[in-house]
Structure 1
Amino acid sequence: MAKQEGGGLSFHLLGPFEAWSGDTRLRLGGAIHERVLSSLLLETGRTVPVSRLVQVAWNDSPPATAAHQVRKAVADLRRRLPGGSDLIVTQGPGYRSTATTAELDFLEFGEHVHEAARAVADGRHSDGRAALRTALSLWRGRALSGSGSDLLESVAAGLEERRVAAAEQYFDLRLAEGEAAALVADLRDLIAQHPLREPLRGKLMLALYRSGRSAEALDEYRKVRELLVEELGIDPGAQLSGLYKAILREAPELGLDADESSAEPRRTPSETVPDRTHCTLPHDLPDFTGRRHELDVLLAAMTHRARSRGSRRIVALDGMGGSGKTSLAVHAAHQVAAEFPDGQLYIDLRGFTPGEMPVAPGAALHGLLRSLGVPGERIPEDLDGRAALWRAQLRGRRMLLLLDNAADAVQVLPLLPASSACLVVVTSRARLVDLDGAEWLSIGPMSLADGTLLVEQVLGAVRIGAEPDAGRELVRMCGQLPLALRIVAARLRNRPRWTLQYLVDRLQDETRRLGELSAGDRSVAATLQLSFQAMDEEHRTAFRLLALHPGTDVDVYAAAALLGLDVHATEATLERLLDVHLLQQPELGLYRFHDLVRDFARTLSCPATAREDHAAVRSLLGYYVTVTEAACGVLFPGRKASAAAIAPYDGALPPLGTMSGAAGWFDQEQDGLIAAVHLADREGLDREAACLTRNVVFRLNSLGRFNEFRDISRVAVAAARRADDLPLLGVSLSSLGVVCWKLGHLDEGVEAAQEGRDVAAELGDRRTESHAESTLGLLLTVLGRHTEALPRLERALDLERSLDAPQAEVESLSNLSTLYMQWGRYEEAAAAARQALEIHRTLDYRDNHVMVLTDLAFALTGLGAVEEAHEHLARARTLCDVSSPPADVALVLALSADIGERLGRHAVVKGLAERALALAGAGASPTRQAKTENLLGRLHLRRGDVGRALSLHLHAYEIAAAMPYRAEQAHALFGLAAVRTAMGDDKAAHQLRAQADELLRSMDVRVRSAAWCLSG
């Protein structure tokens, strides 16, 4: 089944279970998640009770918490799957999947099988065969292989039976069409999986007999008879025995004649070519595989053109080298040959043939005329004369002309016939835009399913089935390029001791990948080299430099920075590379290398190009620093522009005037920007690395991508040290301190913030000093070192007020409110939050506004003003959207649920709590996650769900203790004590409260522990 385009969901059960969103493989969790989802999908549209899902997940040995774990798995699946809440709906005692036929490969398989049955019943055997071929192509191995569930295995057995039945019908149709020899290998592969299935053995015997291999057919009967006796103690059935006897006497009803005794497939009457026909087409590939969509489009274009009455009929295929254009064109030409009774001519124009010059038009015409039987002495010497004679020879004839491997339109135009009854098919690596009236079809890499099937056709289903994951990874490593796939399949076939995984491991090394993709005269690198050599020097240089870009996609502005051109000249260059299929265009305005093309392009850089390459990278990084600075200015108003540590880029920038435009640019470029920081680090461009990091982390922080934030912050600190640039070092350390708080790396964060503060103080950089002091105060707060944290935050506020930096002041007041709240000083916590809220009236910084409202709600809860806290949280929720940091939103929702429960607004509590828990786990911020899970644990205990409360508080304690976040450790311990009390274990509850009280004393918290716990 093809993955859904445009980001649609698709689920593959005909093989190891897979879920895809467009071209992205989805990670669903663990085995339990996959079993639950598989069960729901297999019964899509029907409600599956939780009890049945428990049995699917654990067979006959479910744990005591099985039902809870199933519900948790469903919640995880809803979060991980795009549109998951709509895909899996709660209904009665269980859940129901709403997946459609287009999303499920086993339903699509069934539709194609039914379509085949209707076609055969109507006498349309070729349509039936095509439908069955499509149905069988959806299988990637045994259905749901490796699921580990007894129930799913029983369902898989039923699906496998349907597969074999469809395969048997498919083989019958092919046998009826005379394809005996081509079937032998396929039948042997399927028999290896089902050795006792007599109908399959019978078809193999018949195929061998009709291929002139009677002895092998009889030996096949001997083997199956011995196997049946040994395994089951029975002899073959009457049908197989009758076939054996018929082969012994060479019964005429078996259909063997002189034509069928050869290894060549028998032609049906519709495929028979009259003797008078001139046919020079190459042989069709016996194992041509996949390309169903492209073949259908091509055949439709060819047959439509054959019926039309235009003055010129041309169908042209273009695509990168190795994409299989010639194989597809030849395959299609054989299928429509009967529509051109006067002949089918083929010529290789050698536009991209190693070691040879393209065929001149005059030479091509000479060869074509001789193919038609024109004597050499009658062929004119000049090009115009030959073209005129060629057109005269074709007048009134219905012929198909396949012009393969064309270099350019100049080579093709003289070969075009004038006759409207002729069809011309052209293949080329470039789109020949001068061929007016041509109907174009661009050929890209194969689909993953087609690529896997191609390798399977060469190696056999058994070998692929033994390593299905490695087989798919091998196809991906080859970029799904047919030439590369045939090369690796040939290597594996000739090396039976090699596993698929072994070759995958060899291909992991990008520096040797192209060397691995060569066999004899066939080489991916050599194929790409021909396309490269066909370009002029300007485009060759551009091709090499573009490969220096560290991201997947590049837009025209970044490309202009790399190439040192203006935007218009750059776009023209990119479009030229696109025309010759050395670049791809995933969407308008973006350009991308095929993986193998990128590998090849990177081999072109060498010591002789090092200076030019380094200058191009420096220019690209300067561009990214300049444009991220501009984008941050739009997205984060009030943010102070960074000092100019590097010269600004003076080329064109993308339009970033609106917040949506700046956010969209960041989202498009984000992974490439992170890669650019590492590129700068590798190239020794230390100032560029640190400056770019300063801007990129602002957006990473707002997206909650804290691990990447930390990684590039560490790179920036090291780069600033190497550059001996104290201002950049202070800023980089300050950023590192922030993300260490987010991730709970508290000791590293304190060290970074202290050093950053000292560096800033030495330089007199009061803005960076204030930020470092505020961050240090927050880190010390989390560590429970309140008396040390307070003066740090007060110092930060003094500096920010003297600098008139309201946004920074708000952040420090928020941190101060957190400190007072955690300290049990609720009035002061509320006062700090109200000050921050008042300043926010003059600011437009949504994420900080959300957290200030939440700070105030926490403080008001501590004071018992829950109604007012509820009002502030309602405002906070209205400010949140999909771009808000997930961990922050989780905290807002968890506190909202807690307060909603206290106020008796039970209808909304469950939904808020579930969303909060899902976001907390996805937010990558353990400090927020511990706080959120403690809130939710307390909520579930009040609602009577003791088991859920226990697991939440335990997990929160583990997270908090690892940092250590002593306040949340204490919250978790109080929560666990309350759970133990509810369970009747007063002794354990007393011990837990004693541990919590000890933590409170270490933090100098002077309110009663019970009141502190309820407020926080």
Structure 2
Amino acid sequence: MDAATDQELAVRVLGPLRAFVGEHEIELGPPLQRALFAVLALRSNHVVYRTELIDALWGEELPTRPEGGIHTYVAGLRRAFEPGRGRRSPGRVIASRGSGYLLRAASDAVDLARFERCVETARAAVGSGDLPEAERRYDEALGIFEGAALGGVPGPFAAAQRDRLAEVRLGVVEDRIDVILARGRHAAVIGDLRTMTREHPLRERPWSQLMLAFYRAGRQADALAAFDEAREACVRDLGLDPGPALRDLRQRIVLGDPGLTVPVRAETAARAPAPACRNLPRDIEGFIGRDRETDRVLSSIDRFGGGSGRSPGARPVPPLRVFAIDGMAGVGKTSLAVRLAHRLADDYPDGQLYLDLHAHTVGQDPLAAATALDKLLRAIGVPGERIPAEADERAATWRAELAGRRMLLVLDNAAGAAQVRPLLPGSAGSLVLITARRRLPGLQDCEFLSLDVLPDTEAATLFAIAAGDVRPAAEPEATEAVVRICGNLPLAVQIAGARLRHREAWSVAHLLDRLGDEERRLAELRVDDRSVAVAFGLSYRSQAPDRQRIFRLLGLFPGPEFTVRAAAALAGTDVRDTDEALEDLVDAHLLDQPRAGRYRFHDLLGVFAARQCREEETEAARRAAMERLLDFYVLIVDDAEELIRPHRLDRAERPPGDSGAHRFDDRAAALAWLDAERAGLAPLVRAAGEYGLDHQGWQIARYLWGFFEARRLWADWIACYELALPCARRAGDRLAEARILVGLGVCRHDLREYAEAVGHYRRALGLMREIGFRSGEAGVLTNLGNSYRRLGEVAESISCQEQSLEIFRESGDRPGAGIALANLGERYRDAGRFEESIACQRQALEIFQEFGSRGLEGNVLDNLARTYQSMGRYDEALQRCEEALAARRDAADRYGEAETLDCLGHIHQAAGRTVEARRQWNRALDLFDALDAPAAADVRAQLAGLARNG
């Protein structure tokens, strides 16, 4: 392996997490560091991105700086595996790949891989009839487990994997028992099965194995008593009877079915196949993608002896397998089901049936279960006179007819579990593929596959196939844009390609231009009887009226994602009711849920919802909904600002009876919520202007000041404030206009666009003086003085700070006076008036300590350090820097921390300590780069200067 040692890496996850290099066990460190290693180990030789690691370690409970935690844990693991590695040397065991990491390991380094290989070999032995070899391999696989997988490892990923691997292990135990039963050693497994049924009373497979073991051991009464125990557990915990397979086994035991006394293999081999019936639709030409879903179905079937190329009679009859494929309209569910059915047809020689259940068919109601059963029974040759009139009797006849057959059944376009449940076979040997626009959690013993849209490359390929010529390849950028506008939805991509195919005069760019108009987009995505809007409309109209209303109102939401509370505000509904409605819409694939508590539309569904809102809601209703939404955001953004910037001057007016129920626990929680909302903040301000809700527009922007400043999001800040400025002007609020101008000035100053900053500040200063707001005037003078300083206008800068200090002192505003003193101290330092500078900074420090403003303390301490450096008093400068770093970190001010590290670099360079200067500047550079701050260029220049000078 490519590691810091020639010895092989070995990882154990099937028990307590452990890692070895040769014979030496590696100390994996604290719990969360072990959790990170577990993720890398289970995905060895694949890149795991930082965002995935953050989700795996913390889920929704994020710490303040999760990226820093990931960096720390990776560094800790690298020290453990490669103790001699240099700090900036690339990791050889844990390698960096862009924004992620990868664990390099041999193919069998992780014990899970060895376990899976043993299981695969065992199942192959079952398929070939070598039952002794199968039992040996199952025993070998189970011997690899040393306890609960990932024992003691915290985090949501580890918990999910622990549950998954426990389920996998239990399935292998059941497979092993099947082999032992097939070898005739019934009594040997009764004790184990007794334990399994006590530990997993709702798992029907061990109950059926126990009943069969008792029966074959001559203990028919015990077999029936076992069924009674299973039924009691199901009724007690689920309110349901056991499934049809267990009930069928009980009936066969009561009747003394001779087929139960011999292995199922022999029974299956002796039965002649029934005449086959086949009515599958033709396979889809140009089928693209879905490899993961296909592999999952095939591997699941292979676990039970399926797989083409072997005679069905040469292997055990597999249990009934049911797969439910769900997804939004047009995502390709039917195409996948039909493709799978054709691929697996040879493994189900007794017939392959297709039935459209018409849950979403224009002009047709969903098939009733009785009607569907009539169609199925006739399809397999049951004469009409033998088909009972009642639905439950038809279902019983259907199950009886399928007993002993190996049938493949495609139930397409299902309305729900209740429609499908009577159509399922009751005995082993068959495969059912169900497609539905809704998730079907009510189906038991079913595997679920939820389809998403296609990846970019596959969607572009599908578009090219549908277009049928070279135009997509000749216009790759336009093709990429068309696919993106279609949201990678297969139906939309195919229709767009078909439109291009039948318009030889069009280019892809022309098609893109037609699709670019959002109001025309759905009309463009229609060809013959295929229409994206019609497909969406069927899903929409299948919802209850209250669900339809909230769906279409959400089409007004201006951002990419929304929370339950935001949706409740928009719709004017109770939060709990809204939560239920959103979850229903997710189940119907009319909404996506990228993570718990947050929702979004597929792009085209968002367009469809907006269209329905325009058509079905009055203009007044739409404006009222938007006003409710913006009022909600004003209050919640104000709540966040209260925690991020508690000493601000202005606050939102609270409506009567406001409970503050949406308040955040702390500053970190407020910042985390705003991080999640970030992409939708500017669209909210824009929507406020479009709806004439100017007061809410400038307020939302104003109360985002602390967030933008804390995260140094200059581009977002400018975008929001430039949208808010006309809102403030139209509202006639001169103070709001001045404050927005000040915010723009701060952004331009931080981006080193000092002349532009001065222009904004001067306009704001004029407004403050016009309305007589003296504290505001002082604040603007402070900022104006800072920008004058950067332009080299030292006298103007000092004058502004002195005027500001005078106003703050007149008004008794001590925090404001502290800021003015701090700035004036900087200006005196620039002018070489060091003692005056120190005096000002000490006064400012006293004020900020009085008010507990750790961030501002850090700023003053940093400036004191720079003054001491200018005076050659390096020891005092270093002491102030260390104090500044502590304050910056307490305030979670990463930009300020970088500034102080830069200051440390300058002090060490001035004192002749080049190595230490380089170290501090490298630390500063890492932070500035992470913040995408212009100051990073300065630090690089300083490091380059050190390199040139040796």
Shared fold (TM-score, shorter chain, > 0.5): yes
Q: Which residue number in structure 1 is paired with residue 605 of structure 2? A: 597
Any conservation in 2 of the 1:544–1:605 contact (CA below 8 Å)?
yes
Aligned equivalents of 2:372, 2:649: Cα separation in 1: 68
Q: Which residue number in structure 2 is paired with residue 292 of structure 1? A: 291
Q: How does 1:706-745 map to 2 (within 5 A)?
A: 706-745=714-753
Q: State the Cα distance separating 1:885 from its structure 2 match.
A: 6.0
Q: Which residue number in structure 1 is paired with residue 631 of structure 2? A: 622
Q: State the Cα distance separating 1:882 from its structure 2 match.
A: 12
Aligned equivalents of 1:902, 1:527: Cα separation in 2: 71
Could you say if the C-alpha distance between residues 686 and 480 of structure 1 is closer, same or farther in structure 2, counting changes exceeding 3 Å?
same
Code of the residue aligned with 1:555 in structure 2: it is T
Superposed CA deviations along residues 255-274 of structure 1, whole A, max 9, x for unmatched, are xxxxxxxxxxxxxxxxxx98
Aligned equivalents of 2:431, 2:666: Cα separation in 1: 53
Superposed CA deviations along residues 134-178 of structure 1, whole A, max 9, x for unmatched, are xxxxxxxxxxxxxxxxxxxxxxxxxxxxxxxxxxxxxxxxxxxxx
Q: State the Cα distance separating 1:344 from its structure 2 match.
A: 1.8
Could you say if the C-alpha distance between residues 520 and 720 of structure 1 is closer, same or farther in structure 2, counting changes exceeding 3 Å?
same
Aligned equivalents of 2:504, 2:639: Cα separation in 1: 58
Aligned equivalents of 2:49, 2:476: Cα separation in 1: 17
Code of the residue aligned with 1:276 in structure 2: it is P
- What is the count of residue pairs matched by the alignment? 732
Q: How does 1:567-966 map to 2 (within 5 A)?
A: 567-606=575-614, 608-642=617-651, 644=653, 647=655, 650=658, 653-880=661-888, 888-917=896-925, 920=928, 932=938, 937=941, 941=945, 943=946, 945=948
Q: Secondary structure at the match of 1:345?
A: strand
Q: How does 1:82-101 map to 2 (within 5 A)?
A: none
Aligned equivalents of 2:527, 2:432: Cα separation in 1: 32
Segment drifting more, 699-708 vs 412-421: 412-421
Q: Does 1:516 align with 2:515?
A: no
Q: Which residue number in structure 1 is paired with residue 282 of structure 2? A: 283
Aligned equivalents of 1:824, 1:688: Cα separation in 2: 47
Segment drifting more, 858-867 vs 388-397: 388-397
Could you say if the C-alpha distance between residues 484 and 643 of structure 1 is closer, same or farther in structure 2, counting changes exceeding 3 Å?
closer
Q: How does 1:322-333 map to 2 (within 5 A)?
A: 322-333=330-341
How well do the aligned residues superpose, as a CA RMSD in angstroms? 4.8
Any conservation in 2 of the 1:636–1:845 contact (CA below 8 Å)?
no
Q: Does 1:525 align with 2:533?
A: yes
Q: State the Cα distance separating 1:22 from its structure 2 match.
A: 7.0
Q: Secondary structure at the match of 2:426?
A: coil
Q: Secondary structure at the match of 1:604?
A: helix
Aligned equivalents of 1:23, 1:410: Cα separation in 2: 37
Q: State the Cα distance separating 1:395 from its structure 2 match.
A: 3.2
Q: Secondary structure at the match of 2:592?
A: coil
Aligned equivalents of 2:637, 2:428: Cα separation in 1: 57
Code of the residue aligned with 2:493 in structure 1: it is L
Could you say if the C-alpha distance between residues 702 and 373 of structure 1 is closer, same or farther in structure 2, counting changes exceeding 3 Å?
same
Q: State the Cα distance separating 1:723 from its structure 2 match.
A: 0.8
Superposed CA deviations along residues 272-320 of structure 1, whole A, max 9, x for unmatched, are x989211222222233221111112233445557889999753212111
Q: State the Cα distance separating 1:463 from its structure 2 match.
A: 6.3
**Counterpart selection for 1:417 from 425, 428, 435:** 425
Code of the residue aligned with 1:710 in structure 2: it is I
Code of the residue aligned with 2:948 in structure 1: it is D
Any conservation in 1 of the 2:681–2:720 contact (CA below 8 Å)?
no
Aligned equivalents of 1:511, 1:83: Cα separation in 2: 49
Q: State the Cα distance separating 1:710 from its structure 2 match.
A: 2.3
Aligned equivalents of 1:937, 1:797: Cα separation in 2: 36
Code of the residue aligned with 1:839 in structure 2: it is I
TM (norm. structure 2) is 0.68
Any conservation in 1 of the 2:417–2:443 contact (CA below 8 Å)?
yes
Q: How does 1:178-327 map to 2 (within 5 A)?
A: 276-302=275-301, 314-327=322-335
Superposed CA deviations along residues 879-937 of structure 1, whole A, max 9, x for unmatched, are 445996665444323221121123343333223324445655675666x568x45xx75
Q: State the Cα distance separating 1:782 from its structure 2 match.
A: 2.7
Aligned equivalents of 2:398, 2:102: Cα separation in 1: 53
Residue ranges of structure 2 left out of the alignment (5+ in a row): 1-35, 41-46, 54-67, 108-123, 125-271, 307-315
Code of the residue aligned with 1:277 in structure 2: it is A
Q: Secondary structure at the match of 1:424?
A: strand
Any conservation in 2 of the 1:431–1:580 contact (CA below 8 Å)?
yes
Q: State the Cα distance separating 1:19 from its structure 2 match.
A: 13
Q: Which residue number in structure 2 is paired with residue 545 of structure 1? A: 553
Code of the residue aligned with 2:606 in structure 1: it is R
Residue ranges of structure 1 left out of the alignment (5+ in a row): 9-17, 25-77, 112-123, 125-272, 948-1016
Could you say if the C-alpha distance between residues 326 and 651 of structure 1 is closer, same or farther in structure 2, counting changes exceeding 3 Å?
farther
Q: Secondary structure at the match of 2:709?
A: helix
Any conservation in 2 of the 1:301–1:439 contact (CA below 8 Å)?
no
Q: State the Cα distance separating 1:410 from its structure 2 match.
A: 3.4
Q: Secondary structure at the match of 1:586?
A: strand
Q: Secondary structure at the match of 1:431?
A: coil
Q: State the Cα distance separating 1:825 from its structure 2 match.
A: 2.0
Any conservation in 1 of the 2:635–2:652 contact (CA below 8 Å)?
no
Any conservation in 1 of the 2:358–2:367 contact (CA below 8 Å)?
yes
Q: Does 1:486 align with 2:488?
A: no
Any conservation in 1 of the 2:849–2:857 contact (CA below 8 Å)?
no
Q: Secondary structure at the match of 1:605?
A: helix
Aligned equivalents of 1:284, 1:106: Cα separation in 2: 39
Q: State the Cα distance separating 1:431 from its structure 2 match.
A: 1.5
Q: State the Cα distance separating 1:656 from its structure 2 match.
A: 0.7
Q: State the Cα distance separating 1:484 from its structure 2 match.
A: 2.0
Any conservation in 1 of the 2:725–2:737 contact (CA below 8 Å)?
yes
Any conservation in 2 of the 1:7–1:23 contact (CA below 8 Å)?
no
Could you say if the C-alpha distance between residues 474 and 862 of structure 1 is closer, same or farther in structure 2, counting changes exceeding 3 Å?
same
Q: State the Cα distance separating 1:855 from its structure 2 match.
A: 1.2
Q: Secondary structure at the match of 2:366?
A: coil
Aligned equivalents of 1:593, 1:882: Cα separation in 2: 39
Q: Which residue number in structure 1 is paired with residue 544 of structure 2? A: 536
Superposed CA deviations along residues 611-638 of structure 1, whole A, max 9, x for unmatched, are 2221111111111111111111112232
Could you say if the C-alpha distance between residues 106 and 670 of structure 1 is closer, same or farther in structure 2, counting changes exceeding 3 Å?
closer
Could you say if the C-alpha distance between residues 727 and 505 of structure 1 is closer, same or farther in structure 2, counting changes exceeding 3 Å?
same
Q: Which residue number in structure 1 is paired with residue 168 of structure 2? A: none
Q: State the Cα distance separating 1:404 from its structure 2 match.
A: 0.5
Any conservation in 1 of the 2:885–2:900 contact (CA below 8 Å)?
yes
Overall identity of the aligned pairs, in %: 36
Q: Secondary structure at the match of 2:850?
A: coil
Could you say if the C-alpha distance between residues 779 and 101 of structure 1 is closer, same or farther in structure 2, counting changes exceeding 3 Å?
closer
Could you say if the C-alpha distance between residues 679 and 901 of structure 1 is closer, same or farther in structure 2, counting changes exceeding 3 Å?
same
Q: State the Cα distance separating 1:687 from its structure 2 match.
A: 0.7
Aligned equivalents of 1:95, 1:282: Cα separation in 2: 58
Any conservation in 1 of the 2:274–2:405 contact (CA below 8 Å)?
no
Could you say if the C-alpha distance between residues 758 and 410 of structure 1 is closer, same or farther in structure 2, counting changes exceeding 3 Å?
same
Q: Which residue number in structure 2 is paired with residue 242 of structure 1? A: none
Q: Secondary structure at the match of 1:294?
A: helix
Could you say if the C-alpha distance between residues 642 and 755 of structure 1 is closer, same or farther in structure 2, counting changes exceeding 3 Å?
farther
Aligned equivalents of 1:441, 1:548: Cα separation in 2: 31
Could you say if the C-alpha distance between residues 295 and 806 of structure 1 is closer, same or farther in structure 2, counting changes exceeding 3 Å?
farther
Superposed CA deviations along residues 215-249 of structure 1, whole A, max 9, x for unmatched, are xxxxxxxxxxxxxxxxxxxxxxxxxxxxxxxxxxx
TM (norm. structure 1) is 0.64
